[in-house]
Amino acid sequence: MLRPAMTKLLTSACATLLLLAACAEKGDETAHKDGHDGAHKAADYAGVMELKGLKTPASFSSMTDDTERAAAIFTEMSKVLLHPRCSNCHPRYGGPTQGDNMEPHEPPMVRGAGLGPDAMGCDTCHGKENVAYASMEGSVPGAEPWLLAPESMGWAGATPAELCVQIKDENLNGGRSLEDLIEHNTVDHLVNWAWNPGEGRTPAPGEQALFGALTSAWVEAGAHCPA
C-alpha cells in the first residue's frame, strides 16, 4: 500500500515526466558529448600549470618529497571530490542534496538500495541525459544509470585528510585498488557528468582528463594523505 504522501509525490513525479517528455527536444547539448574523454588525454598537461581552476601535475613537480607532493596533489583533487557536483551524490547521511549550496533534494529522497526508495527510483525523474526545463532556467540532471553512492562512499563535508583515508580504504570504496581509482576517476560516467552537468549548474573545476591525471600522479607519488 502506498501512503497518501507517497501517492501525491508519485503523481507530481508523473507530471514532471510529462513536462520532460514535452521538452525532451530541448535537451542540453553538452549531454550528448559522450563521457570518457579522459583516457587518451592523460599525459597532455606538460608545461600547463593550471586549467579552469585546477592545478596540473606539473605544478607539483618541484616538490621533491614524495609524501608532501602526494598530500598536496590529493588536496588539489579534493577541489573536485568535495565540489557540489560530486558531493551532492556522495552524502554521508540521508539522501542526495542539490545545487551549489547542497540543499536537501526536492522532493525529499531517502536512500534506498542506491536507486532510490523502492516505490520511486531515481530514474522516475532522472533520464539518460540532462533535460533542460521548457519554461524556466535549469535542467533535470541525467546519466545512465543515475544513482546515489552507497553510504560507505559518502563524504560530503569531510576534510581532505578524512576523505583521502576513506577513499583508499578497500572496505569502504567498493574493493577498489589505487589503479581502480585512477580508472574510475578517468572514465566513470557519473564522474564525467560533473563536467557536463546541464543548464543552470556550475561544472566541477578542471576537466575529467586532468582529474584522472592528478589521481595518477597522486598514486605514483605513493598515494600519501594530507595531514
Q: Rule CB under 6 A: which residues touch ligand HEC? A: 13, 16, 80-81, 84-86, 88-90, 96, 98-99, 105, 107, 109, 114, 116, 120, 122, 124-126, 138, 140-141, 146-149, 153, 167, 172-174, 176, 181, 184-185, 190-191, 193-194, 201, 204
Which C-beta is closer to ligand HEC: that of 146 or that of 218?
146
Which C-beta is closer to ligand HEC: that of 25 or that of 118?
118
Which C-beta is closer to ligand HEC: that of 53 or that of 114?
114
Instruction: Residue 124: name the closest of 102, 142, 138, 136 by CA.
Output: 142
Instruction: Residue 128: name the closest of 114, 116, 140, 110 by CA.
Output: 140
CA distance 148 to 216: 25
Q: Smallest distance, Å, CB 49 to ligand HEC?
A: 21
Contact 86, 204 (CB under 8 A): yes
Q: Smallest distance, Å, CB 65 to ligand HEC?
A: 25
| The length of the chain, given as a count of residues | 227
* Cell triple for 74: 590529493
Determine the distance from the C-alpha atom of residue 180 to the mean position of all C-alpha atoms in its chain, rounded to a whole number: 16
Q: Smallest distance, Å, CB 68 to ligand HEC?
A: 23
Which C-beta is closer to ligand HEC: that of 81 or that of 209?
81
